[in-house]
Structure 1
Amino acid sequence: MHYRTVYDIAARGYEEWLMAYIAAGLAIATLVVFLFFHSWKHRKILLTVFCVFTAVAVLLPYWDYTRLKKKLESDDCLKTEGIVTGYWEKKWRDKDASQKWQNYHYEGFTVDTVKFGYYITGGGSAAGFQNNDAVRVPIRDGMRMRVHYYDEPIITDGTVENRILKIEVVEGSSN
């Protein structure tokens, strides 16, 4: 069987550049304020906002991406291979923590005995497979697939999330 790679976190690269550019703009604004507005009493608040924004919007996603990329390249990267079964998809609308309406889209499937699930929109980390490109991977029951993944423990409830790092499909099985 000849496999064709349809997703590879290492080949894909870090994708959150927009947030990095916003953080760079905020850094420049913070620097200008600190250099030219010595008497402005809210300078430290701006610095705090910059640091928190950069940590949450840039550093954490970049750390997550590099960590997952290293997992894929390591010898202990998990793999499963077989026929996709139990494919399902769910779309819904609900209020988020700020009581604003948010659209959610979740997808899941099983390969061999390993279950995978991920948010396409509305939640989850940007690192790893999310199937939210303009042209989505057409996953369906019966297709043959090999998945490289990392079984990440969820500290809040003790479950495990299988984060997809690479997907390969048998030529012709994704049409």
Structure 2
Amino acid sequence: MDAWVVVLIVVVVVLFVLYLSQTAARLDRLHHRVDTSLATLQAQFMDRANEVLSLASSGRLDPSTSVLLADAADNALAQARASEAEFTLARCSAESALTSALEATFTDPQVVDELMEQPDGQRIVNDLTATIQKAAWSRRFHNDAVRATVAVRQQRLVRLLRLAGSATLPHTVELDDEVPPALRTR
């Protein structure tokens, strides 16, 4: 065998090993990104439920609305504590129910206007809107990280050589987290 053939084979093998190493490192970074985004998502949805619970217990809303929001927020917090670091079906349902309660409360801009006219109402509305928006963004960022990770894990070579190791396949979080209509304009 000629020396140039041996050199060519060595170069190809080295390039292949470098490619595998970079792919494994990228996959590791993506899994870390998923874990980080899931922790952020957990925190943002806990903040959202706590903010809603604070508003519901403040006496600034009518009693029936306060009860509706408090029940939904309590349920979301209970499911968050029960499911720890996972977004189970029950947790997603509880978070979607909280979104529905928020949408039922804040469909009419007049409710928001009345709330803003109260002392410190502007801050309360701004904090609530920001918290709801941050939770929605966190879910979108998490789902983007999951999709990127799954795309790399589905590559034939990654599956064949088991570059993902024993890491579990991440899943997107699907739930309703839209900002209520009357708060979108704030």
TM norm. shorter chain > 0.5: no
Give the structure with the larger helix fraction. 2
Q: TM-score, normalised by structure 1?
A: 0.30
The structure having more radius of gyration, on CA atoms, is 2
Give the structure with the larger strand fraction. 1
